[in-house]
Structures are given as structure tokens and as C-alpha cells.
Structure 1
Amino acid sequence: MAVMSDTAFQPSSRPLEGMTCLMIGMVFFVVQDALMKTLLATYPVWMLIGARATISVMILVPLILYLGRPHRLWTPLWPLHLIRATLFAVGFCLFYTAFPFMGLAEVTTIFFSAPLMTALLAAVFLRETIGLQRGLALVIGFIGVLIAMRPGGATFQWVAVLPLICAFTYALSQIVARKIGDRESTLTVGLYTLAPSGPIVALLGWSVNQVFDFGPEFAHLRFEFPIPDGSGILWLAAIAGAGMMGYILNSRAYQVAPASLMAPFDYSYLPMAAVLGYLLWGEVPPVNTVVGMALIVASGVFIGYREIQTARRAKAVHIAPTAPFVVDSPDV
């Protein structure tokens, strides 16, 4: 099968493009999550994610058909896309479930153990080197996660585990994105990430509601679909647009650059989320969240710095002996 023959593929690396895509993508994700947190008071999480998927498909399918190659509606890499879409859908259902119970900065600080997990998983599955110093940075970062969560503390909430699980599924999905590499166009990756999330969350929501009878405190988990009015439709469209752009840019970043290099730039989300949480809901992160956030960010930034330094040295060693005879390639 074509997928099996692709396992030896070595993706090109374009760090600047990846960093730019990821930073802009984080802006869209902050907007999307602020809208999600607001609308969860009116609509269940299944409906919000389903609406995002539906509207995204309505935009992406005609756009792909109009633009043609290299974009495509059918791809032999669909098993990898389906795995990634499932990881995203299930993980972010858990992530949004925690929103009504925790501040935006608190939820996202725990979630941002994901870049640390990405760097670790990249070493295991993609053979991207970590080294001693980056290994110590990972340990410090995970200590920051524990401080932010405060397991066993008086203020610990069990829902804090949900964004941690989402972080793990997110990290796995980014490893899959790196496996896909730039064999797919960005629009195709976006379509295959978002389109399956609708039926996946519908099945998940229906199944969970067969097992649990959710009371008023968990009204956002009921399998209900209120009919939105005109303004509601506009807000749902805004969520879909922001989410679609975020996913597309995020996917592109991990397609064209090493996962361990891109992961630290995910942290640009945190200060934006903290500011929005304060401006919109008056949320002030507790001290343990701020301390944990500082350790997590410091760890991630150091890992990114070490990755850049290692890449530069490796490139210098590779190019120096043959520099007079080599024509530069944009993919190097």
C-alpha cells in the first residue's frame, strides 16, 4: 500500500515558515477558545465542535475543488489523517469540558505540557535527538505542570486531569503531522483534521450520555442541539473560521519543520490566553499557575534554543567540506 511505502520519507525543514505559521495560528486558537468558553453557557461542547466541522467542510471542499492540485479531496494517507483527527477530536472534547470549572489561563497552562510531550515523543518516534541538557529542561517543565495542577492540594480539581490528557493526544497528533510531512497541501490537512471531528464527537457525545445522566453543573455535556438564532449562527461561524485557520496554520508548521523545534513556539498562546481571561471574565491566575507557567515556558524555550543550536552545527558540518560544489536548496 502507498502508506506503507511512505515510512522512509524524510520531510524537508523550513523553520522560519513553521515558526510564522505557528505564531499566527496561536492567535486564531486563542480567539476560538475564548468564543468556546463563552458559548458553552448556551450550547453543548458536541454541538460547538460539530458546527465548527460542518462549516469548515462547507468552506474547504469548494476551495479545494476550485484550486485543484496540489490540494486533493482523496488521499492515500487517509489512515494517518484519521488517526490525527481522532486524537484532536477526543482530546479537545476533554479540554473544553474543563472550561466552565477553571480559568482559561489555568486550563491552558496544564495543556501546555503538550510541547514538552511532543519533544519527548519526537525523540522516541522520529529519532529527533534531545540530549542531556534538553532532558533536564523537560524534567523542569514537567515539575512546572505538577505545580500548576497541585495534585493532592486543597484546591485540586479532578477536571484538571482533562487538559493533561488533551495535551498527550495533541502531542501524538503533532508527531503524526510530522509523519505526513509536506506530502499533503495545507488545505487537505485542514480538511482531513476538521471534517471527521463532527461524526467523531457526535458518536462520543451520544455514547457518554448513554452512560451518564448529566445534571445542571455539566449541562455543556448533554447531547442536545439548541436551535441558534441569527446572532448564534454568526458566533458559530466565527468559531469555525478561527478554528479552521488555527488548525491549518498549526498543521503547516509541523509539516515543514521539526516537531521539537516548533513545540516551544506553541507557548505564545499562554500570555494571550491570560490577558483575554482577565479582560473578558476578570480571571486572575493563582500563584501556583503562574509559577508552573513560568517553569513550563522556560523549559520549552530552552529546548527550542538548544534545537536551533544543534541544527545550525549539524548544517555547518554537513555543508563546510563541499561548499564550493553544492548548489543551495530551499529545502535544506
Structure 2
Amino acid sequence: MSSLATERTNIPSRALEGILCVEAGMVFFVIQDVLMKSLLNTHPVWNLIFVRSVVTLVLLMPVMLWLGPPHRIFTPLWPLHFARAVLLAAGFSLFYAAFPFMGLAEVTTIFFSAPLMTALLAAVFLRETIGWHRIAALIIGFIGVVIAMNPVGDSFTWVAILPLLCALTYAISQIIARKIGEGESSLTAGLQTISFMGLLILPLGWLTNQVITIGPEFQHLRMTWPTALARDWLDLMLLGFVGMLGWILLSRAYQVANASLVAPFDYTYLPIAAGVAYFMWSEIPPSNTLVGMALIILSGLYVGFREIRAARRHDEPTVMAEAAFVPGGPMLPNIPDDENLL
């Protein structure tokens, strides 16, 4: 085991600070998605992701330059970050494309199948051991996904497949993140991924509009630059700011507290999002979404619990399958190296 890993296992856990950071981060991520859902009424998804990337870069780069090593602006691992950016740009375009047609709780519940997919992909491609306990948990979790989507119900629409595809791209990006491992700090990974996403998203939007005929119901996917841009500049700046702040808080939580303690609090995003959506838009999740949400959360927590036990048996730093699985979060599933992140 490397000396860096040894040092990390000896970092004292500040439980309360870690929990508070996770909870604050979840609130900021919900605010980010509420802003995104509201702005999609007047702005194409491509422009919103682009502006969010630009704002995050403007705010994050000075912080990294001030902190210095190990947070680096340029990295030889950029091809892996580029691959993650391609996946995340495509995936979250699909994720946000579903917002006008589905409730926030419904979209995010389906997205939270990503931890389950990551555990499955890690077993197939990284040859990580997966016993029958975790197999049973994954089956239950995917049953929850099917229940939440309700493909045989009258209310089912093919749009529900979009957040599921986003979950798949996110899971694949996390497999790449595991390949990167400790070779990068979370700030460097975030900067690289966000930078490439900003460069990719507008060409992706243009290409989509050339290949697919965009109907009036998908106005938010048309490649236009609306005149409302100047009017909504404050909301656009806020979109980038709250997303970056939520991500930094989540990184901080995994830095100061044990992953086994803080990881379950990631799932509080779902009830927070459901509550905010109810008060803002009077959205009431259907019963199948609530049942699916419960099964996905229980399955994800159990998979994470089994990974913690496996990591401790081998005296290795814990890598959580469900760590940092929040919409729009580009961080690596590891602990940042710098103790002065905030």
C-alpha cells in the first residue's frame, strides 16, 4: 500500500463537519437543478451547460492557483479526463433534456441507479469481486429502477429512458475515474472535466440539431442563443456558482470524514429534491417513484456497505461505488489531497 494511502487512512475523522458538508452540498445541488429546470423554459440545455462550465472555470481556477500542488492546471492524464467529459457532456444533456417532461424527483430517482451500474461495471471490467450479497442488492436496486420508470404503465414515456442513459454514461465515467485513482486531486479532475465539457457541449448541440429534427416540444434542445441571456445573467451566474460550491463541499466532506459515515447522506438529495419540487411546482411524485426511490437507496447503501467491508479486509482506502453520485458532479470518488480545500 502506498504511503499516500497510509496517510489517508490516518486522517482523523471529523464526523459532524463531514455530515454538515454533505448536507449543505446536497442543498446546493438541488438549487442547481431547480435553476436548471427553471431556465430551460427560455434557454437551450447546451447554453446552460456551457455557461455553467465557464462560470465554474472562472471561479475555480484562481482557487487552484492559490492552493498550488497537488492541484495542477495541466496534467498528463488529460486523455482520461477528456473521455470522462465526452461521457458527461452527452449524459447530462440527456438528463436535463428530460426536465420539462418529468418531475424532478422522478428524473433524479432514475439517475441514482448510477451507483448500481458502477458496481456492476467494476465487476465486469475492473474484475472487482462481487459476491451474492451484492448481486442480490443490485437486483433489488434495478427492480427499483424498473418500478420508478413503470414501463408498462399508462403514464410511461420514452423520455424516462434519458436519465437512465445518463446514469449509464455517468457510471462509465466513474470506471475511468477509478483508473485515474490517486493520480489526481479532485479539484484537478473537476477543472479538467469541466473545461472539456465546456469545449464539447456547443459542438454537441450543433451536431444534434443537424442529425435530429427538433420538434416544438423540444424547444430546449434547439441550438439557439436566446435574447433572454442578458436578462437572466444573474441566474446564469448563480447556476455555475452553486454547482461549484456544492461540489467543493462534497469534496470536503470526503476529505475530513470517513467515507462509510458520509456516503449514506448523498442519498438525502432525493427527498430534498422531492420536497423542493413540491413547494415550487406542486410536484407530487407518483407512488411507483417513491417505491423505486426506496429500493434504489437501500440497494445502493448495502452495496456501499459491502465495499467498505471488502476494503477494510484488504487494508485499503475505501472506494465507494455510490460516493459523489449527484447530478452534474464531476469529482473523482476519492479523497482530495489538500486539507485546506475550503
The two structures have a TM-score, normalised by structure 2, of: 0.80
Match runs of 1:1-332 below 5 Å: 12=5, 24-228=24-228, 232-248=232-248, 265-315=265-315
User: How many Å separate the matches in 1 of 2:93 and 2:3?
Assistant: 33
Q: For residues 5-64 of structure 1, what are the alpha-carbon distances to aligned partners after superposition, in whole Å with 9 as ceiling and x for unaligned?
A: xxx999836596897566554333211111100110011100100001111122223333
Amino acid paired to 2:106: E
Q: Which one-letter code corresponds to 1:32 in the other structure?
A: Q
- Is contact 1:175-1:259 (8 Å) kept? no
The change in CA–CA distance for 1:259 and 1:161 in structure 2 (over 3 A counts) is farther
Gap change, CA 1:174 and 1:258, over 3 Å in 2: farther
Once the two structures are TM-superposed, the CA of residue 301 in structure 1 deviates from its matched residue by: 1.6
Assess, with a 3 A threshold, how the Cα gap between structure 1 residues 289 and 70 changes in structure 2: closer, same or farther: same
For the 8 Å contact 1:115–1:263, the answer to whether it is kept is: no
- Report which stretch shifted further, 136-145 or 15-24: 15-24
Task: Determine the C-alpha separation between the residues in 1 that align with 2:300 and 2:146.
Answer: 15
Note the alpha carbon deviations across 1:152-184, whole angstroms, 9 max, x for none.
321110000000000011111122222222322
Cα separation, 2, equivalents of 1:198 and 1:85: 9
Q: Deviations over 1:119-140 (max 9, x none)?
A: 2222233443321111101001
SS of the counterpart of 2:267? Answer: helix
Greater helix proportion: 1
Q: CA–CA distance in 2 between the matches of 1:193 and 1:51?
A: 14
The answer as to whether partners of 2:42 and 2:228 remain within 8 angstroms in 1 is no
Letter in 1 for 2:51: A
Normalised TM-score (structure 1): 0.82
Contact 2:260 2:305 in 1 (8 A): no
Runs of 5+ unmatched residues, structure 2: 317-336, 338-342
> How many residues are treated as equivalent by the alignment?
310
* Cα offsets for 1:177-230 (capped at 9, x unmatched): 222223223321121111111221111110111123323311101101124466
User: Which one has the largest radius of gyration?
Assistant: 1
Structure 1: which 5+ runs fail to align?
Answer: 1-7, 317-330
Cα RMSD after superposing both structures: 3.2
